[in-house]
Chains A and B, each alone.
Chain A
Amino acid sequence: MLKVRVIPCMLFNGFSLVKTIQFGTMRNLGSPIQAAHVYNSRNVDELVFIDLKATEEHREPLYDVIHEVIGECFMPLAIGGGIHSLDVIQRLLSIGADKVIINSEALTHPEFIERAARKFGSQCIVVSIDVKRNGRRFMVMDKRGATTTRHEAVPWAQEMHKRGAGELFVTSVDQDGSMAGYDIDLINAVVSEVSIPVIASGGAGKVQDIIDVIKKGHADAAALASMFHYSGHTANSIKQRMAAAGIPVRIVGP
């Protein structure tokens, strides 16, 4: 059975790991390298590393840092932030990244997704969609949650799928950092309309939140950050509860 993935999300501000709340306040958590080492020692399913400031600062990903992060990791790595050209993707894949996560470039040039998928294969291309609720509508946000685009989440997800995205990384801006639960309705709405895997992000606070986003939201994977950063839970302790709830997961280690 294909296992549901629990994915630690490392948010990077160009210098250190940060924790965000509603995409706003950033709390500096320290070196990304030690965090990567800890996750690797815990045999996690996958790692997501996003450079939150690369696009805003008009720069490319910090290949040195990413290289160190990938260094000891023998699990899949998805890298996001500042991905605006095929060359950048090529470079990231060559230093060991498995997938790239594209957000703002998809909004300004959706055909970029097609070109990237054609060149590198859909399985390498994850499109990230940040969503904020506006009444009953799910609006796609740009500039790290600062600007509302004219797109709504579900049709946008469908378009990205059509263009060749291999996976979708859907984040609720409202729930981000709150540890009050994922936006289940949002995830459910997207999952029902696409047939590519959807990774849910934004809001995990307790194990039940993850169980809910999988069972009620039907996400294929749950990304989380805050819950891991305070050492409150490990992926294994979460997965044991998920397994008890009947969700197929991979449990390794002591």
Chain B
Amino acid sequence: MKLTYCKNCVMPNTKPDLFFDEEGVCDACQSAERKEEIDWTSRKKEFEAVLEKYRSKDKTNYDCIIPVSGGKDSTYQTYVVKKIYGLNPLCVCFEPTHQTSLGKKNIDNLGRLGVDVIFFKKNPEVYKKMVIEGLRRVGDNEWPNHVGIFTVPINVSVRYGIPLVIWGENSQLEYGGPKAAADREVLDRRWLEEFGGLLGNRVEDMLNVEGITREDLLPYTYPSQQELDRVGVRGIFLGYYFKWDARAQLEIIKKHGFSVKEDGPVEGTYTNYENLDEATVSVHDYLKFVKYGFGRATDHACIDIRNKRISRKEGLRLVRQYDGVYPKYGVTNLIDYSGLSKTEIDSIFDQFTNKQIFKVDTHGILVRDAAGNLIKNNYDNE
């Protein structure tokens, strides 16, 4: 099966929830075009109105919550709220699966912006069971991480009585999705389940897996509608109010102590400034690649193309070189973390590989190049 690629960026049509128009342009590119037409001045005013509405008037509580990972986006969000608007945010970090030292350094750096950070150190036994089950069941070792990063900050919001939660980019706007979602500014449970990467698996589906109990799942359990209403929780995307440009934002935060990976790009892509905090993320990215035919390098190339930093031709070249490379380090780290064998991890990769998009030999066995990587049937429209 040949993949069809967006005429503008390099995303294939196999990406879930991506729509192509009659000219073959994907909706993420269309959103990027629409970004040019947005009245950002008026959006900025809207943002300021939201802040004014929700901040703690008598300063007895934090003004808002910022879910953070220590990564470039959340560092930028913190910078905007604290340094530009002078508010007092409570940053909430859900501990990564297997934190890198660079990740730790960046989280520590966040504090230096002058903010309080709650670092939620998860019950490692329970979490590990979900990493393994997520890997086996839905082909995503980062499944519990998606739940954690989207649920823990909301739980903190409810328990601390801080209604405003400021997220960064709206993934659907940046990466593509149904128009209604792309234009929404508000994050809620439905968004989480549809787009937050839960892959159809609910938190409750983890009950009884290796003895996981309801109490074990407390941090991952989204508050009830009553609790949300009581506090008046409102999650917003900063990317709705300000034109999102990851690279420009990176330059700003580097001046505030943010560190990038100095010894080369992150495995599976060509950039050295994203996904720095998680040692097993390349396994997650690789699974995406084998399921759908695009990996992290494609994501980054598409963003750079849409932000007019590279040409489509350059994007294609980067993708060919960096995308879908077998995640040696990620696998080693995952073995180290989980105790699973390489054989089992490889068999899970195979199980989720969609053979239709990769080259197979006459016996139907996947073909690998000299470096041991799969070969897509086509890397551009033919």
Whether B204 pairs with A234 at a CB distance below 8 angstroms is yes
Q: Which of B14, B201, B207, B352 contacts A16 (CB 8 A)?
A: B14
What's the dominant secondary structure at chain B's contact region?
loop
| A64/B351 in contact, CB under 8 A | no
Task: Compute how far the CA of A35 lies from the CA of B140 in the bound complex, rounded to whole angstroms.
Answer: 12
What B residues does A27 contact at CB under 8 A?
17, 178
Q: Is A230 in contact with B190, judged by CB distance below 8 angstroms? A: yes
Between A and B, how many residue pairs show CB distances below 8 Å?
Answer: 83
Residue contact B1 to A30, C-beta cutoff 8 Å = no
Size of the B side of the interface (Cβ < 8 Å), in residues, is 34
Please tell me if A149 contacts chain B, counting CB pairs below 8 Å. no
The one of B204, B207, B354 in contact with A31, judged by C-beta atoms closer than 8 angstroms, is: B354
A34 pairs with B354, CB closer than 8 A: no
Tell me whether B200 is interfacial, beta carbon within 8 Å.
yes
In the complex, whether B25 has a CB less than 8 A from a CB of chain A is no
Is B138 in contact with A38, judged by CB distance below 8 angstroms? Answer: yes
Q: Which residues of A contact B13 (CB under 8 A)?
A: 28
Bound form: Cα–Cα A35–B207 in Å: 17
| Contact residues, A24-44 vs B (CB, 8 A) | 27-31, 33-35, 37-38, 41-42
- A232 on the interface (CB 8 Å rule)? yes
Q: How far is the CA of A29 from the CA of B16 in the complex (A)?
A: 5
A-contacting 9-mer, from B62-70, B117-125, B191-199, B264-272: B191-199
**Among the interface residues B13, B137, B193, B364, which one has the most CB atoms of the partner chain A within 10 A?**
B137
Docked CA distance A201–B239 (Å): 40
Residues from chain B with a CB closer than 8 A to the CB of A16 are 14, 16, 292
Within the assembled complex, what's the spacing in Å between the Cα atoms of A28 and B138?
Answer: 16
Q: With contacts A27-B178, A64-B364 known, is A15 near B14, CB below 8 A? A: yes
Contacting B194 at CB < 8 Å: which of A62, A230, A234, A254? A230
Residue from A29, A38, A41, A231 with most neighbouring chain B CB atoms (10 Å): A231
Q: Does A229 contact B (CB under 8 A)?
A: yes
Complex: A16 Cα to B292 Cα, angstroms: 9
Say what secondary structure dominates the interface of chain A: mixed
Closest B residue to A30 using CB positions: B16
> CB of A105 within 8 A of chain B?
no
Q: How far is the CA of A253 from the CA of B206 in the complex (A)?
A: 11
Residue of A nearest to B364 (CB): A64
Q: Do A232 and B193 touch (CB < 8 A)?
A: yes
Bound-state CA distance A130–B140 (Å) is 36
| Bitwise interface map of B from 115 to 141 toward A, beta carbon under 8 Å scored 1, else 0 | 000000000000000000000111110
In the bound complex, residues from chain A placing their C-beta under 8 Å from that of B292 are 16, 30-31
Pick the contact of A38: B17, B205, B357 (CB < 8 A).
Answer: B205
A253 to B178, CA, bound (A): 34
Contact: B193 with A15, CB < 8 Å?
no
**Chain A residues whose CB sits within 8 angstroms of the CB of B207 once the complex forms:** 254
B318 within 8 A of A: no
Over the window 325-358 of chain B, the binary record of Cβ atoms lying under 8 Å from chain A Cβ atoms (1 yes, 0 no) is 0000000000000000000000000011011110
Question: Which residues of the other chain, B, contact A37 by a CB distance below 8 angstroms?
Answer: 136-138
Chain A residues with CB under 8 Å of B1's CB are: 14-15
Nearest residue in A to B203 (C-beta to C-beta)? A231
Contacts of A253 in B (CB 8 A): 208
Chain A residues closer than 8 Å to B376, beta-carbon distance: none
Q: Would A30 and B291 be within 8 Å (CB), given that A35-B200, A41-B137 are in contact?
A: yes
Q: How far is the CB of A30 from chain B (nearest CB, A)?
A: 4
Which residues of A have CB within 8 Å of B193? 230-232
Q: A142 in the interface, Cβ–Cβ < 8 Å?
A: no
Q: Is B18 an interface residue (CB 8 A)?
A: yes
A212 at the interface (CB under 8 A from B): no
| Mask of A34-60 contacts with B, CB within 8 angstroms, 1/0 | 110110011000000000000000000
> Are B198 and A31 in contact, with the CB atoms below 8 A?
no
- 5 further A-B contacts with Cβ under 8 Å, apart from A15-B14, A31-B139, A31-B199, are A15-B357, A27-B17, A33-B352, A38-B201, A41-B137
Residues of A participating in the B interface, judged by any CB pair closer than 8 Å: 14-16, 27-31, 33-35, 37-38, 41-42, 62, 64-65, 68, 71, 228-232, 234, 253-254
Offer 8 A-B interface pairs, CB within 8 angstroms, sorted by A.
A16-B292, A33-B352, A34-B352, A38-B137, A230-B190, A231-B202, A234-B205, A253-B208
Which B residues have a C-beta under 8 Å from some C-beta of A? Answer: 1, 13-18, 136-140, 178, 190, 193-194, 198-202, 204-205, 207-208, 291-292, 351-352, 354-357, 364
